């Protein structure tokens, strides 16, 4: 079988440096070496979060991080304003209801950004609201919401701002302290270039105050207990040694090269994707596209589920389709992880081939050549951020 | 630095076959190949659980599995009888209280097994009890509780029997259906020879009935939603591809070689440890020792925390000490994972050296030689269960 070209917004292709660390022999977490590593990871995560608060590592998927945010801050009966602009917004609103919150759903048309003034109105009308919850990037629509502006609004209200930045943190600047975000959540299988299995979370002082009175029952995600354990250099439950060692490697690469370099590469992949799609006559769904993932609208009469399937069958290139109301309408291409320039070219060749096999002459040879050319020119000045090991494409060999 | 010899009851040394799989490139979970693999894993887990019920894989440590058992079956106010015979029993009882249960703690002296008649009396006195919760092996005391007999008692009562078999499942026979266990929990970093990060759980029909009426709030661990996802060949949240591929490899090795071979090897390591300790004049803590881990009592005047520390410093051999009331009193040696005969010899040499450095002439040369000899003779007929790849010790190179 040919190499799989993984272009989804999580899981993402892992660099060889990470794969090497995943294959290291197991070691115990109660040794001076590992304790030093764990301490370094927690400190380095603070640099990615751009916060002076502690950052916590939980053994869970990103959804576990979203649950942790809610159960640590809320009490049953609390009012929560949920920005619902796609699948993940729906999930978080559902979750808040399960834990007893009175949820005010602010529905945003899929593909659009939230209007900050609408949230300000809701906060004024519901001054008792304890939290505003939102995605930074709503993965299902590839939209980037105005987190900085939302935080400016929540600052002067009782409510904390909780941000699911699972498809944003590490991919673009999301300075927790600088913006005034109260709860910030990330996940390992996105910009952190790791396997699924860790969520990251941090709480502002305003959010810590809520944890003192929160009445939601919690044990596995109890952040105050996790903090006590971290203060002793331990994790609350079994330590995910393999993941944490790989995270240490990734953070070391990121911080040595500079987070701005990581962001620039992802931004360049996003730009190249949008320009290449445009050369092929295709439009973008998102009102404000997130650098981490791009949602490309299909030409009339083409079902994106079939495009996705043909790309996989014909070329072993994996992209995502649309979900629910966007089913059949979009192809989503991720920009996080160890994506080489060649991966991008392979993806667009496969994309054009799939489109043409479903509807002949959708993309002309000339259009494809222009798309490939714009990819090459856009990416050449911003190489992938990896250490000096083999190139990312070798990770697949 | 010399190779670390990891002899703890989790994390455990991983075989080279597992390390190889952990280093494979990331792939997407929505492909026919991965969906087939995931389906196979779920089927093969049923064979290890010895159940006809579904087994679920959750992205969490074992404690997440313990929480899942409680929140899926209980409602606030429910009576729970908790067998508390060590650290993990305490944790589970605390957890049940957090989720609103009225917990009747049945304290068993650390190192002793629970008396089944005591539980029968408690069930008769508290017929409203919804669950009896117990460890199979209480890792902190290395005791194996009589699960089969407990299940015979709970069968004729309202209560379900929930078994934390994290340090037992895969290491010894624990037939869920055959014994009549209602909720059975395992963890990846024990006999399954994987990194920390997955918990496994299954529910009997009696337990499924409880899930229909359970009022504990749950989302991340909602097993009825997980079941719906599994029925479509998916996991409820992001799929832990790397761990699940490695689990597939381990289950394939286990089931090809036969689970009885896995159990026999672990039993042999346990027997060798007990006999070797005896040759060195040392006694065992546990009234009924679990095959998965052995707790060795220290000679008078020797602090086990110092023994543990000296073994690490002098020989890079990692064992566990005792916790809380057993602090300083025991050394715990694990028998799960890719442990070679040589690892056992290295461990006992390091053990004798550490004891003698703390209290000269605790173990004579003759005693150590007898210990090494009994290890060799006990293990030689039951080799480690791995595929035909390199020996386990090469995994550390």
CB contact under 8 A, A20 and B23: yes
Q: For the residues B310-320, what does the mean pLDDT come to?
A: 98
Interface membership of A17 toward B (CB under 8 Å): no
Return the pLDDT at A387: 58
Contact status, residue B296 vs residue B280, Cβ threshold 8 Å: no
Calpha distance A334→B298 (Å, rounded): 57
Residue-wise DSSP of B135-174: ESEETTTTEE--HHHHHHHHHTSS-EEEEE-TTTBTTB--
Which of A219, A243, A310, A396 best tests the B interface by mutation, with the highest count of B CBs <10 A? A219
Query: Tens digit of pLDDT for each residue in A207-257?
Result: 999 999 999 999 999 999 999 999 999 999 999 999 999 999 999 999 999
Mutate to test the interface with B, among A4, A21, A26, A29 (most CBs of B within 10 A): A26
Q: Hey, which residues does A58 pair with through a beta bridge?
A: A199
Alpha carbons B166 and B143: distance in angstroms, whole number: 13
Tell me which chain A residues have a C-beta less than 8 angstroms from the C-beta of B61: 59, 237-238, 240
Residue A98 at interface with chain B, using a CB cutoff of 8 Å: yes
Q: Tell me the average pLDDT of chain A.
A: 95
Cβ within 8 Å, pair A196-B20: no
* Average pLDDT of the residues in A76-95: 98
Return d(Cα A201, Cα A49) in angstroms, integer. 9
At B3, the pLDDT band (50, 70, 90 cuts) reads confident
Closest chain A residue to B190, measured at CA: A238
State the complex-level ipTM.
0.95
**Any alpha helices (H) in B23-129, and if so which ranges?**
32-49, 62-73, 87-98, 116-125
CA-based max dimension of chain A: 64
User: What pLDDT, on the 0 to 100 scale, is given for residue B2?
Assistant: 66
pLDDT value at residue A397: 31
- The mean pLDDT value for A358-383 works out to 97
pLDDT score of A301: 94
The CATH-assigned architecture of domain A5-12+258-396 is Alpha-Beta Complex (3.90)
Residue B187 bridge partners (DSSP): B199
Indicate the CATH number of A16-256 among 3.40.20.10, 3.20.20.220, 2.60.40.10, 3.40.640.10.
3.40.640.10
CB contact under 8 A, A24 and B29: no
pLDDT band at B384 (very low <50, low <70, confident <90, very high): confident
Q: Is the Cβ of B98 closer than 8 Å to some Cβ of chain A?
A: yes
Name the residue in chain A with its Cα closest to that of B219.
Answer: A95
User: Roughly what angle, to the nearest 10 degrees, separates helices A147-155 and A116-125?
Assistant: 20
Q: Is B125 on the interface with A (CB under 8 A)?
A: no
Task: Specify the pLDDT at position B385.
Answer: 82
Instruction: Give the containing element (helix H, strand E) for B104.
Output: strand B102-107
Q: Evaluate if residue B38 carries a pLDDT over 80.
A: yes
Query: Mean of the pLDDT values across residues A106-127?
Result: 98
Residues of A in contact with B7 (CB under 8 A): none
Q: Across the A/B interface, how many CB contacts are shorter than 8 Å?
A: 170
Between CA A16 and CA A384 the distance in angstroms is 13
Which stretch of DSSP H or E encloses residue A265? Answer: helix A259-279
pLDDT in tens, A372-385: 999 999 999 998 88
Q: Which band of pLDDT confidence, cut at 50, 70 and 90, is reported for residue A2?
A: low
For residue A119, give the H/E element and its range.
Answer: helix A116-125
| Proportion of chain A above pLDDT 90, given as a percent | 94
Q: Taking CA atoms, what residue in A is nearest to B18?
A: A23
Q: What is the mean pLDDT of residues A50-55?
A: 98
Average pLDDT over residues B201-222: 98
Contact between chains at B195 and A243 (C-beta distance less than 8 A): yes
Q: How confident is the model at residue B394 (pLDDT cuts 50, 70, 90)?
A: very low
* Ranges of CATH 3.40.640.10 domains, chain A: 16-256
Residue B24 to chain A, least CA–CA distance (Å) = 7
Interchain contact B26–A (C-beta under 8 A): yes
Q: Could you give the strand order of the β-sheet that contains A102-107, starting from the edge strand earlier in sequence? A: A55-59, A198-203, A183-187, A160-164, A131-135, A79-84, A102-107
* Per-residue b or e along A36-47, where b marks 16 or more CB atoms closer than 10 Å to that residue's CB: ebbeebbebbbe
Return the pLDDT at B73: 98
Tell me the mean pLDDT in the region A174-191.
98
Q: In chain A, which among 201-240 make CB contacts under 8 A with chain B?
A: 216-221, 237-240
- Could you give the angle at which helices A259-279 and A341-358 cross, rounded to 10 degrees? 30
Give the CA distances from residue B184 to residues B160, B218, B356, in Å, rounded to whole numbers and listed in that order: 11, 19, 42
Residue B93 pLDDT more than 50?
A: yes
Mean per-residue pLDDT for A288-300?
97
- Please indicate if any CB of chain A lies within 8 Å of the CB of B60: yes
E-strand stretches of chain A: 5-6, 55-59, 79-84, 102-107, 131-135, 137-138, 143-144, 160-164, 183-187, 198-203, 293-297, 317-318, 330-334
CB-nearest to B59 from A12, A94, A196 is A196
Pairing of strands A198-203, A183-187: antiparallel
Mean pLDDT over residues A337-343, rounded? 97
Q: Which of B14, B217, B219 is closest, CB to CB, to A26?
A: B14
CB B169 within 8 A of CB B198: no
pLDDT of A396 reads: 34
pLDDT at B390 over 50: no
Confidence class for position B214, pLDDT limits 50, 70, 90: very high
**What distance lies between CA A307 and its chain's CA centroid?**
24
What average pLDDT does the segment B89-112 reach? 98
pLDDT value at A390 more than 50 = no
Q: Which part of chain A has CATH 3.90.1150.10?
A: 5-12+258-396
* Residues A17-35: tens digit of each pLDDT: 999 999 999 999 988 899 9
CA distance A222 to A214: 11
Cα distance from A295 to chain B (closest Cα, Å)?
A: 18
pLDDT in tens, B270-299: 999 999 999 999 999 999 999 999 999 999
Amino acid B253: pLDDT: 95
Which pairing describes strands B137-138 and B143-144: parallel, antiparallel, or unpaired?
A: antiparallel
Half-sphere exposure of A37 (CA within 13 A, CB side): 20
**Cβ within 8 Å of residue B62, ≥6 positions away:** A237, A238, B164, B166, B185, B186, B187, B189, B190, B199
pLDDT at residue A386, rounded to an integer: 74
* Chain A contact for B189 (CB, 8 A cutoff): yes
């Amino acid at each position: 079988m040919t190499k799989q070209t993984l272009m989804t917004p999580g899981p993402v292709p892992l660099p060889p440096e990470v794969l090497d660390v995943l294959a290291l022999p197991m070691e115990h977490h109660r040794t001076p070496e590992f304790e030093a590593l764990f301490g370094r990871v927690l400190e380095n995560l603070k640099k990615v979060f751009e916060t002076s608060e502690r950052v916590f590592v939980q053994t869970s998927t990103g959804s576990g991080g979203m649950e942790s945010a809610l159960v640590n801050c809320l009490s049953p009966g609390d009012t929560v304003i949920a920005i619902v602009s796609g699948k993940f917004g729906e999930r978080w609103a559902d979750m808040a209801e399960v834990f007893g919150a009175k949820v005010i759903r602010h529905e945003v048309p899929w593909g659009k950004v939230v209007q900050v003034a609408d949230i300000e109105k809701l906060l004024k009308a519901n001054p008792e609201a304890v939290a505003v919850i939102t995605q930074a990037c709503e993965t299902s629509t590839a939209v980037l919401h105005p987190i900085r502006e939302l935080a400016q609004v929540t600052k002067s209200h009782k409510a904390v701002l909780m941000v699911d930045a699972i498809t944003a943190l590490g991919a673009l600047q999301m300075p927790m302290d600088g913006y005034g975000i109260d709860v910030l959540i990330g996940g390992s299988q996105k910009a952190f270039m790791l396997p699924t299995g860790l969520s990251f979370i941090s709480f502002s002082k305003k959010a810590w105050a809520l944890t003192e009175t929160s009445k939601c029952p919690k044990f596995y995600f109890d952040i105050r207990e996790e903090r006590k354990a971290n203060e002793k250099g331990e994790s609350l439950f079994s330590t995910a040694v393999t993941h944490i060692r790989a995270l240490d490697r990734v953070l070391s690469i990121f911080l040595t090269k500079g987070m701005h370099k990581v962001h620039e590469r992802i931004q360049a992949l996003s730009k190249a994707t949008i320009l290449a799609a445009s050369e092929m006559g295709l439009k973008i769904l998102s009102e404000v596209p997130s650098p981490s993932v791009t949602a490309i609208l299909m030409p009339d009469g083409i079902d994106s589920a079939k495009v996705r399937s043909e790309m996989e069958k014909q070329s072993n290139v994996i992209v995502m389709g649309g979900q629910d109301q966007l089913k059949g309408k979009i192809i989503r291409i991720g920009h996080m992880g160890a994506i080489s320039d060649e991966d991008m070219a392979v993806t667009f060749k496969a994309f054009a081939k799939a489109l043409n096999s479903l509807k002949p002459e959708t993309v002309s040879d000339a259009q494809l050549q222009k798309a490939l050319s714009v990819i090459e020119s856009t990416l050449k000045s911003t190489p992938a951020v990896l250490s000096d090991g083999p190139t990312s494409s070798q990770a697949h060999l």
